[in-house]
Structure 1
Amino acid sequence: MTTATPRNPFIRLDAADNVVVARMEVPAGTEVPSEGLVTLHPVPAGHKIAARFIAQGEPVLKYNTIIGFASEDLPPGTWMHSHNIAFGELQKDYRHGLDYRPTELLPPEKRATFQGIKRADSRVATRNYIGVFIVGHGAATVARKVADAFDEEVLAGFGNVDGVVPYVHEQGAGMELSGEPMDLLRRTLSGYIRHPNTAGALVIAQGNEHNALDEFLAATGLQPGPMLRTLVVGEAGGTRKAIQAGIEMVARMLPEANAVKREPVSAEHIMVGLQCGGSDGFSGLSANPALGAAMEILIRHGGTAILSETSEIFGVEHTLTARAVTPEVGKKLVERIDWWLQYNAGRDTQINGRVSPGNNAGGLANVLEKSLGGAKKGGNAPLMEVYRYAEPVTQHGLVFMDTPGYDPVSATGQIAGGANLICFTTGRGSCFGSVPAPTVKLASNTPMYVRMTADMDINCGVVIDGEATIAEMGQRIFEQILRHASGEPTRSEALGVGRNEFVPWPIGVTD
């Protein structure tokens, strides 16, 4: 009878690291033969211990990357976290474009396909919605009531329409009449209205917004027609009459919106917005690098991956600038990082060191460690372009969009830019969803996946469990992306999550 070899309770990520990560909750006094030490303290799952003596002020290395500095002398086996890992300034070599290596694209005839919806302008949709939009918050109730009139019973006769969704926000008034804040709001709304997944749109105004309806249409070049209708509450005769008029307008769009079919199209039409939220110490070991591996596959098939959350790549942005297609693209990213540093100067925010309480409890000591894991969602693909928030994404491959770290705001910008699918990694169990582009949820650890199976689509915890490699998980994720792009509902879609997660970046709200 043979005895199974006990699994190492800690994971070594790189030979040069001076920390190792707990695979599970580990009691004090646990022997770690692979490192020749004994744990000095209880260690929560996903947290770190010193793998050797680390002197005060010495860099702490994870994935052979600095995540902070020892705030005191740390004997081997010491539990290491924000209480003894200090946040500090890093010297970065941006190496703009010096490490660029072009992706070897598969020839068109060898690229994967999915069942997509071809639009008249040759773009491809993964879903088919009618949207009810507002230019300012004053029309929110009307928009909600118009959309709510089209429940499952009403839409039963329109099987190719995924739903009628209200896109309600709190902007459009109490802000500058022109300038970046207004441009940003209009760019976001326009991006959703023009999105391939939006078959038709109704745009509603109260009638006295700063974001005036006529000016919004003129600024964005949107032209009303049979599938883009407008409604002004005051001109319609008030709330009740506006609701009825809006319902009638949407009803007239339904037959044309329904007249679509899915057909095989190239995976080059898939554009994925990359998100992480409720991250833990395993996110950067399993879900994020596995998603990165999937994105490398997608990019080889001609597709696009949008990395974002600018404040959450701070500290590792040089790993992206080094593989930028040109020095100019790398410098665009640094310019956005500099904007965030200036904007957050003197504030108690993440970019200045501290992560959220949930991230911290999950094993992330500071923003450097979080950024190290978060950037892995893009894999090792070259950086092809940098976009501002909600700008239309036209470049294929790995691109970056400047967004806040707050998931609903960030994903809203990505979808406005054209993302027709969102992939969202989580270690703590974030329940985000989105429309019109669906969200695929990837769990970083098996215990959370088991607890929240109804919310999670993919369990990347099997990497931590030793049951799959990063490459194997990347292939699984890519294949599931193709299925969801073909119409297979995600867990968040089945739960109806996403109708309230439209959150344009509220920069510039002044009164």
Structure 2
Amino acid sequence: MPEISAGLSPLIRMHPDDNVAVARVTMDPASLPLADGTPLGERIGQGHKVALRDIAEGEPVLKYGQTIGFASRAIRIGSHVHTHNLAMAELDLAHEFCAGAREPDFVPEAERATFLGYRRPDGRVGTRNYLAIVSSVNCSATVARAVAAHFAPATGRLDGFSGVDGIIALTHGGGCAINPHEEGYLYLTRVLAGYATHPNVGAVLMIGLGCETNQISLILKKHRLAEGPLFRTLSIQGTSGTRSSVAAGIRAVEEMLPALDAVRRTPEPVSHLTLALECGGSDGYSGISANPALGYASDLLVRHGGTAVLAETPEIYGAEHLLTRRAATPAVAQKLLDRIAWWRDYAERGKAELNNNPSHGNKAGGLTTILEKSLGAVAKGGASRLNAVYEYAEPIDRTGFVFMDTPGYDPVAVTGQVAGGCNIICFTTGRGSVSGFKPAPSLKLSSNTPLFERMHEDMDVDCGTVVTGLETVEQAGERIFAAILAAASGERTKSETFDYGDNEFVPWQVGAVM
């Protein structure tokens, strides 16, 4: 861990009411970190919690000024606070609808930031210019991938098309043996339509087998899509089989490439940016550095007229009361609580619990309960008013700060956000996540500097500077905002530099597979 700034406390106390603090560096018992000179009772790893006073068994443990759990046994001042002495319990949270909702302090239009983007015929603006090969069913995935592989960067077949960011195959494991009247089918068709019409996708080849439940004709009808010069479809059973279909797909792509390549970037207002806010592989610093810094950046985006999309419903569990306070209307607040209720029932049906988080890596990094994780995760949403709540993969049609109901599993969550229209992603991590998420560029923000240095091939922005005192949350947030604008204008993220991001398209499978 880099040395912390001179005169800075080795402990981070997030709120005056907190009875625990987080270690900036690994601390040995010989250290005297507490204000009254009380020595540590044991070694405290970086990112882990230490008791600032005696905490009685059953007493709430407070971080961020909020309850993150209850002492499962008496905890002495200076002791390590973690899974061995901190446990979950049901909380009776007070939901004050709209009490903290405030109109954003918008930047005057003449002073708002711009970026260089691809304007589409429908008026939306992309940050990338991809051709997407979309499979309607798993049975057509082989053909879709073979067509995309024909144009892989190593082949040189796209060398004459500098305006095209790539050919991406969007394949999945479903599309048949599902009930077309239930959630799973609805989510899948929303996702496929959302990617096929995404502003980062300038041309589409949709490939089906021919006999699947998820018929291409039904997708087009349901989502009001139509074939055209830059939207082609292909049926394997109608094209004499696999090899013939691959050849036909290659010809279709070759015919679309010149028109796709002709599109050029133009200066566009930031109001055309829709940012996915995601976190994965979190640690004890995530809610202290990367997440609040991203929250500041998302507030800046909202002030400039853009949209920021928080997601991962199981990872706001226990912190939803902070969002209902910021809801623009009681209906928005109630819709969020309705989604929490749906998740309670969903988890119960699966014989699971919403508090089964954090993961092994989260705990190793200092997180103990889902309440602690959620309170840190919500920080990505800044302080802006919550304008809307969307179901999975619904088209995002409101600007400002909004929420989308998704699982906490990162590829499924981001797939829903991108399907909804997110054209850029900020992904915070304290343990080291490596996802790319084509066709949307993904900036990965590290919560601590050792991670940034150790995984420099994957991390884009170091937020560990907040932990070490080199920057404030606001300064780091300004830096993230600048990185968002640069990436939106075409600067490659780390994952794009190495051409990663082909395997993170994972629509949410809900319901019985028959």
Quickly name the TM-score band, shorter chain normalised.
over 0.9
Write the distance in 1 (CA, Å) between the matches of 2:177 and 2:349: 26
Q: Which residue of 2 aligns with 1:438?
A: 441
Q: Is the 8 A contact 1:350 1:367 kept in 2?
A: no
Mapping for residues 180-259 of structure 1, pairs under 5 Å: 180-259=183-262
Asked if residue 352 in structure 1 is aligned to residue 379 in structure 2, the reply is no
Q: Which residue of 1 aligns with 2:62?
A: 61
* CA RMSD across the alignment: 1.3
- What's the offset of the Cα at 1:350? 6.1
Write the distance in 2 (CA, Å) between the matches of 1:369 and 1:422: 24
Write the distance in 2 (CA, Å) between the matches of 1:464 and 1:150: 44
Q: Which residue of 2 aligns with 1:136?
A: 137
1:389-420 residue CA offsets vs partner (Å, 9 max, x unmatched): 00000111100000000000000000000000
Q: Is the 8 A contact 2:22 2:47 kept in 1?
A: yes
More displaced stretch, 305-314 vs 204-213: 204-213
Q: 1:269 to 1:139 in 2, by over 3 A?
A: same
Amino acid at match of 2:83: S
1:412-466 residue CA offsets vs partner (Å, 9 max, x unmatched): 0000000000100000001111111110000000001100011000000000011
Q: Which residue of 1 aligns with 2:167?
A: 164
Q: Which residue of 1 aligns with 2:38?
A: 37
Q: Is the 8 A contact 2:182 2:511 kept in 1?
A: no
Partner residue of 1:334 out of 317, 327, 337 = 337
Write the distance in 2 (CA, Å) between the matches of 1:251 and 1:176: 36
- TM-score between the two structures when normalised by the length of structure 1: 0.97
Partner residue of 2:464 out of 461, 464, 468 = 461
1:128-160 residue CA offsets vs partner (Å, 9 max, x unmatched): 000001110000110000011112311111100
- What's the offset of the Cα at 1:347? 5.6
Q: Which residue of 2 aligns with 1:274?
A: 277
- TM-score between the two structures when normalised by the length of structure 2: 0.97
- What's the offset of the Cα at 1:86? 1.2
- The percent of aligned pairs where both chains have the same amino acid is 48
Write the distance in 1 (CA, Å) between the matches of 2:148 and 2:188: 21
Q: Which residue of 2 aligns with 1:125?
A: 126
Q: Is the 8 A contact 1:389 1:401 kept in 2?
A: yes
Write the distance in 1 (CA, Å) between the matches of 2:483 and 2:358: 31
5+ residue gaps in structure 1? none
Mapping for residues 308-323 of structure 1, pairs under 5 Å: 308-323=311-326
5+ residue gaps in structure 2? none
Write the distance in 1 (CA, Å) between the matches of 2:291 and 2:7: 27
Q: Is the 8 A contact 1:303 1:397 kept in 2?
A: yes
- What's the offset of the Cα at 1:30? 2.1
Partner residue of 1:408 out of 393, 411, 421 = 411
Structure 2 residue matching 1:390: 3-state secondary structure: coil
Amino acid at match of 2:405: D
Q: Is the 8 A contact 2:164 2:261 kept in 1?
A: yes
- What's the offset of the Cα at 1:495? 1.6
Asked if residue 111 in structure 1 is aligned to residue 112 in structure 2, the reply is yes
Write the distance in 2 (CA, Å) between the matches of 1:405 and 1:495: 26
- What's the offset of the Cα at 1:179? 2.3
Q: Which residue of 1 aligns with 2:76?
A: 75
Q: Which residue of 2 aligns with 1:486?
A: 489
Q: Is the 8 A contact 1:428 1:448 kept in 2?
A: yes
Write the distance in 2 (CA, Å) between the matches of 1:353 and 1:58: 21
Write the distance in 2 (CA, Å) between the matches of 1:287 and 1:76: 28
Mapping for residues 278-427 of structure 1, pairs under 5 Å: 278-345=281-348, 349=352, 351-427=354-430
Write the distance in 1 (CA, Å) between the matches of 2:6 and 2:485: 38
Write the distance in 1 (CA, Å) between the matches of 2:38 and 2:385: 40
Aligned residue pairs: how many? 508
Amino acid at match of 2:95: Y
Structure 2 residue matching 1:345: 3-state secondary structure: helix
Asked if residue 499 in structure 1 is aligned to residue 486 in structure 2, the reply is no
1:347-371 residue CA offsets vs partner (Å, 9 max, x unmatched): 6756224411011111110100000
- What's the offset of the Cα at 1:277? 0.3
Q: Which residue of 2 aligns with 1:95?
A: 96
Q: Which residue of 2 aligns with 1:176?
A: 179
Asked if residue 19 in structure 1 is aligned to residue 20 in structure 2, the reply is yes
Q: Is the 8 A contact 1:14 1:63 kept in 2?
A: yes
More displaced stretch, 418-427 vs 29-38: 29-38
Structure 2 residue matching 1:324: 3-state secondary structure: coil
Q: Is the 8 A contact 1:35 1:51 kept in 2?
A: no
